[in-house]
Amino acid sequence: MPAVSKGDGMRGLAVFISDIRNCKSKEAEIKRINKELANIRSKFKGDKALDGYSKKKYVCKLLFIFLLGHDIDFGHMEAVNLLSSNRYTEKQIGYLFISVLVNSNSELIRLINNAIKNDLASRNPTFMGLALHCIANVGSREMAEAFAGEVPKILVAGDTMDSVKQSAALCLLRLYRTSPDLVPMGDWTSRVVHLLNDQHLGVVTAATSLITTLAQKNPEEFKTSVSLAVSRLSRIVTSASTDLQDYTYYFVPAPWLSVKLLRLLQCYPPPEDPAVRGRLTECLETILNKAQEPPKSKKVQHSNAKNAVLFEAISLIIHHDSEPNLLVRACNQLGQFLQHRETNLRYLALESMCTLASSEFSHEAVKTHIDTVINALKTERDVSVRQRAVDLLYAMCDRSNAQQIVAEMLSYLETADYSIREEIVLKVAILAEKYAVDYAWYVDTILNLIRIAGDYVSEEVWYRVIQIVINRDDVQGYAAKTVFEALQAPACHENLVKVGGYILGEFGNLIAGDPRSSPLVQFNLLHSKFHLCSVPTRALLLSTYIKFVNLFPEVKTTIQDVLRSDSQLKNADVELQQRAVEYLRLSTVASTDILATVLEEMPPFPERESSILAKLKKKKGPSTVTDLEDTKRERSVDVNGGPEPAPASTSAASTPSPSADLLGLGAAPAAPAGPPPSSGGGLLVDVFSDSASAVAPLAPGSEDNFARFVCKNNGVLFENQLLQIGLKSEFRQNLGRMFIFYGNKTSTQFLNFTPTLICPDDLQSRLNLQTKPVDPTVDGGAQVQQVVNIECVSDFTEAPVLNIQFRYGGTFQNVSVQLPITLNKFFQPTEMSSQDFFQRWKQLSNPQQEVQNIFKAKHPMDTEITKAKIIGFGSALLEEVDPNPANFVGAGIIHTKTTQIGCLLRLEPNLQAQMYRLTLRTSKETVSQRLCELLSQQF
């Protein structure tokens, strides 16, 4: 009998769906849906109580409508009501509706939680299963708060049914994922580990998933799972496939469980116990052996399942990276797969080999497959496979094969899919630099990159080639000659003009001896491109021209004529105009000596992390690149004459852009210093950062800066390469005034400069902020001031956010910082005697009035600094009040427009343990809480 008989579906539902399917147009569909929604709404609102069947039918209709992409704004309450039904059918459809339609922050959660609580307590396994599913699917914080204590009990209780145990394990896993702080570790953890021995393989599978996630965060606590997992795995691997009955899938014993167990073992280093280790090695060997045996079935499912286990075993071998014998076998196995007829296997083999390439033992073995991989790059029909091939070539590259690999990547680049071109460009640029023995080769490679895929060559790439040419005098002449030749092409990419302009401006003299590249020829060549270029490139070329004036006095007049022409001196673009004026003046007034000093050759750049590598990391996520780089760095010998480029912690943004040095005269860099927001590609945030109205996420480090202002009123709140924000503020009773200073650190104007104060909804009624807009233009080097008048209406917790948006050199900038207006700013200190203090202390003895925090000292425990901080916090520091002289006691009143709140505080340092205990007592719970939070961060 089929489990779902076709006859007894719901006819009303079927009719409705057929209607929708017959709709000829989108309009007709919408019309039919609206009619149905109106019908259902009236049925739900009607007086007549609906029976379960109808409710179910209507809810199914709503689900269907939702799936078609229409909003459902009613029916939630009906669904919640269904949860408390005693009928399975009704309950089930209620839960289904909720798991599909209710998102985690719905207001209904409390009602839902109640129903779930009842079902969990019902001891009816079906109901419990439904409830656990619902928790796992919604997985919100409120649910975690309500059930994180209960679910572990269900999981380890002796009398829980297997199916419920399975659900409980995964439910707990979900709660741990969303709110790890709410899942208490306790006795249950050791009993969960023993579920690995459970009779029921479904329970073991679920438990393995749970333990894997828990072990990643608490490896010590779950260490015992290693030996249990090994023995379980060994029993599966060595069993005859029939032993496991239903868990055998196309003649492969429990493939999913094997995969999960192998994943769990990847959380740990190789087992220390030799017996366990031996048994594991045996398992892995058996799995590798089985791959060579003839298949037990011709079905593709059989080989898929077998290979799923095999790939996971290989991952574990690579992860342990300790048994050379196994590593070589793994590598050979992957080598076989590289030529397998199944595309999926070729894909996975390329992917696994990437990780294998970074292993000390097998790097050489991986390299033997280079021809196969290059062939894959050329012949694979599928872009996702080709992309893996690129990754693997990148990973297996070293000095011995760099020239070959770079050449292959370059030739692939000509036909590569647009989606992966930028990444290939970055990879080629990195490899060419890293393994360059001959820098002429390096320069050729980068110029080729620009020729083939100029649009995908980001600023980082051409900055880098210039840095390297400037730092290595053996390549300068060659570079000048090569760019000169490349510029001869009738159509060349703008990036080439930039590189060419810069290099000829610095080293054009090295090739000027040849009459074919005499100064005038060089100048005319560059100037022939000038009018086709964008403003930043033209600005760069103007700098090249003034450098020429110094290098080649014979072309001075020609260049002065160009600078003097109306198209330069009266150019609509301020930047170009300014350069033309200043350079022209400089060339006329300055003596040759001064010119030679001002326009001297660029000094070498300090060695720093390649900004290209930083960019690739940003693009691919730090983990993927760093691992490879780190391991490789140890092997490779330094050719750069400087440190290898790879400290993982430096981010792209903090690497100063070489273009800042470009212009020698202190004029603004033509390009933005950080990577422009739109060039990252591939990242979700970047998609959104294009829209000018989006508020930037809080700037990194802004939390720290915020904390620094709790006990002081003046200082620098934020600083990056472009902008500095300073604060000065004063507070009296419930009023305050804050001066915000915005400093433009560059020499270019900020346009459309708009700072906005944003108060979260709740804060708006509690804190009044008034300010006037500032001038939308901030000149280079200038500072503008904004005054904010502050009134505290009632006590508050959150802080307003200051969002600043502006245009700088054509890119949109967006910065957000928290503005340090905190509750303690409205403190007025109160002096009192010891007796008064303790009398008031006792009056505030309600449990809600006291908040206490015990925490580790983050700074050295210095008495004087602590005193200064308490006074800076705003309260009075009361001497000789506490019987223990080591303790600090303070008192004050928080002034708000509506009330005044008396506050007492006591800080007890424990030097030995390097801990503090901070106690706050005020008449209002939220105030105690907030003040305690604020002050705790300070020590």
Q: Scanning residues 352 to 381, which ones bind another protein (CB under 8 A)?
A: 381
Q: How many residues are listed for the chain in this entry?
A: 939
Nearer to another protein, 145 or 719 (CB): 145
Neighbouring residues of 317: CB distance < 8 A, sequence distance ≥ 6: 284, 323, 326, 327, 330
Question: Looking at 185-193, 202-210, 706-714, 765-773, which segment touches another protein (CB under 8 A)?
Answer: 202-210
Min CB(601)–another protein separation in Å: 41
How far apart CA 592 and CA 621 sit, in angstroms, is 51
Contact with another protein (CB under 8 A) among 227, 281, 307, 611:
307
Interface segment toward another protein; rule CB under 8 A; list 245-253, 324-332, 858-866, 878-886: 245-253
DSSP state of 821: -
> Which of 5, 488 has the CB closer to another protein?
5
683 vs 854, beta carbon nearer another protein: 683
**Nearer to another protein (CB atom), residue 386 or residue 906:** 386
The DSSP line for 486-522 is: HHTSSS--HHHHHHHHHHHHHHGGGGTTSGGG-HHHH
3-state secondary structure of 642: coil
Angle at 83 between CA 77 and CA 84, to 5 degrees: 105
b/e map 590-625, b = 16+ CB within 10 Å: beeeebeeebebbeebeebbbbbbbbbbbbbeeebb
The response to whether 710 counts as a known ligand-binding position is no
Residues 495-554 touching another protein, rule: CB under 8 A, are: none
Print burial letters for 902-927: b (CB count within 10 Å at least 16), e (below 16): bbbbbbbbeeeeeebebbbbbbbebb
Residue 69 CB neighbours (<10 A): 6
Coil, strand, or helix at residue 907? strand
The reply on whether position 464 binds another protein by CB under 8 A is: no
* Residue 44 or 741 having the CB closest to another protein: 44
Please select the residue that binds another protein; options are 147, 188, 347, 826, rule is CB under 8 A. 347
Selected range binding another protein among 8-16, 489-497, 515-523, 672-680, rule: CB under 8 A: 8-16
Least distance to another protein, CB of residue 383, Å? 8
* Smallest separation (angstroms) from another protein to the CB of 619: 8
Taking alpha carbons only, the member of 209, 204, 259, 254 closest to residue 228 is: 204
Q: What is the DSSP letter of 599?
A: T
Query: Any binding-site annotation on 57?
Result: yes
Q: With left for phi above 0 and alpha for psi between -120 and 50, is residue 870 left, alpha or beta?
A: alpha
Contact residue for another protein among 147, 188, 311, 463 (CB under 8 A): 311
Shortest spacing between CB 396 and another protein, in angstroms: 21
The backbone region for 342, taken as left when phi is positive above 0, alpha when psi lies in -120 to 50, beta otherwise, is beta
Inter-residue contact 843 to 915 (CB < 8 Å): no
The residues in 811-830 that bind another protein, with binding defined as CB under 8 A, are none
Closest-CA residue to 539 (of 502, 485, 586, 503)? 502
* Cα-only R_g, the chain: 35
Residue 12 known to bind ligand: yes
842 is in an annotated binding site: no
**Please, what sign has the CA dihedral across residues 220, 224, 226, 227?**
positive
* Pick from 188, 293, 183, 318: nearest CA to 237: 293
The two three-digit tokens of residue 935, written as one number:
């002050």
Among 491, 589, 684, 911, binds another protein (CB under 8 A): 684
Which residue's CB is nearer to another protein, number 71 or number 634? 71
When binding is defined by CB under 8 A, the residue of 147, 188, 222, 256 that contacts another protein is 256
What beta strand segments (E) does 733-766 contain? 735-744, 750-758
| Nearer residue to another protein within complex by CB, 337 or 442 | 337
CB nearer to another protein: pick between 13 and 590? 13
SS3 440: helix
Q: Which two tokens stand for residue 373?
A: 């991989």
The residue type found at 632 is: K
Task: Count the residues of the shown chain that bind another protein, applying the rule CB under 8 A.
Answer: 89
Identify the three-state secondary structure at position 168.
Answer: helix
Beta-bridge mates of residue 893: 828, 902
Report 378-437 residues binding another protein (CB under 8 A): 381-382, 384-385, 387
Going by C-alpha positions, the residue among 154, 147, 91, 151 that lies closest to residue 123 is 154
Q: For the CB of residue 172, give the shortest distance to another protein in the complex, in Å.
A: 10
Under the binding rule (CB under 8 A), the answer on residue 176 touching another protein is no
Give 185: exposed, middle or buried? Use CB within 10 Å, 0-12, 13-18, 19+. Answer: middle
Classify strands 850-856 and 915-922 as parallel, antiparallel or unpaired: antiparallel
Closer Cβ to another protein, 64 or 838, answer by number: 64
DSSP 644: -
Of 199-207, 552-560, 584-592, 659-667, the segment contacting another protein by CB under 8 A is 199-207
Structure tokens belonging to residue 416: 């590569």
The footprint of another protein on residues 69-98 (CB under 8 A) is 69, 71, 87-89, 92-93, 96
Q: Provide the mask over 118-157, with x wherever binding to another protein is found by CB under 8 A and - wherever it is not.
A: --------x-----xx-xxx-x------------------
Stretch that binds another protein, among 482-490, 678-686, 737-745, 801-809 (CB under 8 A): 678-686
Counting contacts by CB under 8 A, is residue 171 touching another protein? yes
Distance in Å, CB of 165 to another protein, minimum: 11
Among 78, 312, 323, 391, binds another protein (CB under 8 A): 312
- Phi and psi at residue 771, in whole multiples of 5°? -155, 160
296 is in an annotated binding site: no
Kindly tell me which residue out of 205, 458, 786, 919 binds another protein, with binding defined by CB under 8 A.
Answer: 205
Does residue number 743 form part of the binding site for another protein (CB under 8 A)?
no
Determine phi and psi for 737, rounding to 5 degrees. Answer: -140, 135
Q: What is the rounded distance in angstroms from the CA atom of residue 485 to the CA atom of residue 496?
A: 11
Q: Of 141, 223, 263, 924, which lies in the binding site for another protein, with binding defined by CB under 8 A?
A: 263
Indicate the residue among 132 and 226 with the shorter CB distance to another protein. 132
- Closer CB to another protein, 236 or 479, in the complex: 236
| Residue placing its CB nearer to another protein in the complex, 67 or 637 | 67
Q: Binders of another protein among 618-637, rule CB under 8 A? A: 620-621, 624
58 annotated to bind ligand: yes
State yes or no: 247 annotated in a binding site. Answer: no
Q: Which is nearer to another protein, 201 or 327 (CB)?
A: 201
Proportion of the chain in helix, strand, coil states, percent, rounded to 5: 55, 10, 30
Closer to another protein by Cβ: residue 87 or 859:
87
Kindly identify the residues of this chain, within the stretch 40-69, that bind another protein according to CB under 8 A.
51-54, 56-57, 60, 63-64, 66-69
Could you tell me which stretch among 242-250, 397-405, 752-760, 813-821 binds another protein (CB under 8 A)? 242-250
Among 188, 247, 462, 484, binds another protein (CB under 8 A): 247
Using DSSP bridges, classify how beta strands 715-719 and 723-732 pair: parallel, antiparallel or unpaired. Answer: antiparallel
Q: Interface with another protein by CB under 8 A: which range of 164-172, 221-229, 904-912, 918-926?
A: 164-172
Rounded to a whole number of angstroms, the minimum distance from the CB of residue 36 to another protein is 11
Reading the block at residue 204, the tokens are 């073991």
Find the shortest distance in angstroms from Cβ 434 to another protein.
Answer: 22
Q: Count of CB atoms within 10 A of residue 880's CB?
A: 9
Q: Does 301 bind another protein (CB under 8 A)?
A: yes
Q: Which of 76, 346, 579, 869 binds another protein (CB under 8 A)?
A: 346
Binding site as annotated, residues:
11-12, 43, 53, 57-61
